[in-house]
Chains A and B, each alone.
Chain A
Amino acid sequence: MTPPTQMSLPRRPFDRSIALMRFIVVLLFVLTLYGFTALETGGVNMADAWSMLADNAATLFFRPALANVTVSELLVSLGVTIGLGFLTTVFGAVIGFGLALASALNIAPVWLSVLVKGFTAIVRAIPTVLWVLIFAVSAGLGSVAAVLGMTFHSAGYLIKAYAESFEDVDAGSIEALRAGGADWWHIVGQVVTPSAMPALISWTFLRFEINFSTAIAMGAAAGAGGIGFDMFMASGFYLNIREMGAFTYAILIFAVIMELIATRLQTRQTHR
């Protein structure tokens, strides 16, 4: 008697991307387990700290109150932070636009593109706060260092984003203009910029959102003033959670409004 042959489904062909994905998930899982053993808590009793956090969160969100600044001072601080975010976005966009034209592969020479892309990769790799602190040595802590440092990082980010948007522009239309004898300025002005415009606008707006939160951080960590500095004082100097709550709400309201605008911009573009 012969044993019944086992029926089996044909093996799925080896899929490189699924294998890699599984490997990454396992690797991240192992790293996370290791991370938990390495995470030091500074000798804080975790149970106490969590219950304290719950208390603090309740105070923060349900009993916000101003103490060391007035409402108008709060609004001015928020204005400084928004102003820093806006100004650095505008500067970053201007520089970004120029250098993105020099680094998009479909309109710039290869050597220039490689040069600019390599340089901006390094600029982006340095966190914004370190840029601000580097400039602070020669310009002093304050808005000048903050604007310069944040502009650097914004420009690095926008050069990459804009260049990628330019590279997505339909190669056929560029080819058509080139065949018609149009020069570089015509190609940039008549095809590349207009067709990349929606993408440029949404990248710029996204960067403004990022710069707003960076401006908060620069106030807290690099003495750039604004609402970040007020928060830093309330947290480290006055130890006033209720005032932190008021600042948190101010940030939250502005950020949520920005997000709603961004979502509307996006849906308008995709429905076009």
Chain B
Amino acid sequence: MRSFDFLMRQRLAVGLVFLGILIASYVAVVVTEYDVVKGFQSIPKAVIWSSENFYPDEKSLKRLPKIIAKMQETLVTAVTATTCAAFVGFLVAILGANATRPHWVFSIVSRAIASLFRNVDVSAWSLILLFSFGQSMFTGYLALFFVTFGFMVRMLMETIDLSSADTIEALRATGASPSAVITQSVIPTCMPQFVSWTLFMIETNIRSATLVGILTGTGIGNLFDIYYKSLNYHAASLVIVVIVIAVLLIESVSNAIRRVVLQ
């Protein structure tokens, strides 16, 4: 009897959760004015349209060198922004982590700064930065830098507290100076995680860079936007092919690296 009650109650709870999600979805459909029927109809339409128009043709292949050059530009921007943000983020994380902070005030300040930079979306940062830096690669670089910085501070603060705390305590007990603690304990113990998070953010930022490029008028995103708006769908699809190849390549390389580094 008792187990029956328990099962019933569990089923009731699961049912209520599903009902809640269903109602919330209905509200979301109304608020966003999403046309469910049109949504379903659009999928086959998009498939038919893509198979007829959205493939690279011979003429578009002539644009390949330009597309690859823009892709390279975007990749370099994403990598540069990520590594700079990772480096600065590491410094701030050392100041803020419980195990290494000079004073508890630093923890609160670093957490607040990281939260601000991380939670304002990369597209919002782009729009804000456009005011002062105009349409240039540097605007995109800064937008990616800001978000990555916020993310890295949060993750590295956790990493320092989780993986370095013991060795830091041991070194402190021997009377080691703060700089010795950082170079002999924090950096060696955090390095694998640091490299892994940096690679992860490079992957993320390559995708974001396309979006940022559309907003700031640079890189591969802008090139896609130009082809798309001039209805040159063959060239636009070639841009997508190049992006897919680049992302898959970088993903598999960074996964392989991560496997060795985090072993």
Q: Which residues of A contact B (CB under 8 A)?
A: 16-17, 20-21, 24-25, 28-29, 31-32, 34-36, 38-42, 44, 49-50, 52-53, 56-57, 60, 76, 79-80, 82-84, 86-87, 90, 121-122, 125-130, 133-135, 137-139, 142-145, 147-148, 213, 216-217, 220-221, 225-226, 228, 231-232, 234-236, 239, 241, 244, 247-248, 251-252, 255-256, 259
B254 to chain A: closest residue by CB = A24
Q: Which of B35, B131, B134 has the most CB of A within 10 A?
A: B131
Q: Which residues of B contact A (CB under 8 A)?
A: 21, 24-25, 27-29, 31-35, 38-39, 42-43, 45-46, 49-50, 54, 73, 76-77, 79-80, 83-84, 115-116, 119-124, 126-139, 141, 191-192, 195, 198-199, 207-208, 210-211, 214-215, 221, 224, 228, 233, 240, 243-244, 247-248, 251, 257, 260-261, 263
B252 to chain A: closest residue by CB = A121
- Is there contact, CB below 8 Å, between A31 and B80? yes
- Is there contact, CB below 8 Å, between A56 and B136? no
- Is there contact, CB below 8 Å, between A17 and B260? yes
Q: A83-B32, A143-B33, A255-B119 are in contact. Are A235 and B128 (CB under 8 A)?
A: yes
Q: Enumerate chain B residues within 8 angstroms of A241, measured Cβ to Cβ.
A: 128, 131
Q: Enumerate chain A residues within 8 angstroms of B215, measured Cβ to Cβ.
A: 220-221
The minimal Cβ–Cβ distance linking A104 to chain B, given in whole angstroms, is 18
- Is there contact, CB below 8 Å, between B43 and A148? yes
In the assembled complex, 25 residue pairs joining A and B whose CB atoms fall closer than 8 Å, in A order, are: A24-B261, A32-B83, A42-B136, A44-B134, A82-B28, A122-B244, A125-B244, A125-B248, A129-B211, A133-B228, A134-B46, A138-B42, A138-B46, A139-B38, A139-B45, A139-B46, A148-B46, A234-B127, A235-B128, A236-B130, A244-B128, A248-B120, A251-B124, A255-B119, A256-B119
Q: Enumerate chain A residues within 8 angstroms of B208, measured Cβ to Cβ.
A: 127
CA distance A161 to B136 in the complex (A): 35
Q: Which of A53, A129, A133 has the most CB of B within 10 A?
A: A129
Interchain CB contact (< 8 A) of A220 among B31, B127, B210, B243: B127
- Is there contact, CB below 8 Å, between A126 and B243? yes
Q: Enumerate chain A residues within 8 angstroms of B128, measured Cβ to Cβ.
A: 56-57, 60, 235, 241, 244, 248
CA distance A217 to B221 in the complex (A): 13
Q: A29-B83, A56-B131, A138-B45 are in contact. Are A231 and B192 (CB under 8 A)?
A: no
- Is there contact, CB below 8 Å, between A143 and B32? yes
B216 to chain A: closest residue by CB = A42
Q: A127-B210, A231-B124 are in contact. Are A83 and B27 (CB under 8 A)?
A: yes
Q: Enumerate chain A residues within 8 angstroms of B251, measured Cβ to Cβ.
A: 121, 125
B206 to chain A: closest residue by CB = A127
A245 to chain B: closest residue by CB = B128
Interchain CB contact (< 8 A) of A127 among B43, B79, B207, B257: B207
Interchain CB contact (< 8 A) of B83 among A28, A226, A252: A28
- Is there contact, CB below 8 Å, between A125 and B80? no
- Is there contact, CB below 8 Å, between A137 and B49? yes
A234 to chain B: closest residue by CB = B127
CA distance A122 to B104 in the complex (A): 46
CA distance A28 to B243 in the complex (A): 21
- Is there contact, CB below 8 Å, between B79 and A32? yes
Q: Which of A34, A143, A232, A239 has the most CB of B within 10 A?
A: A143
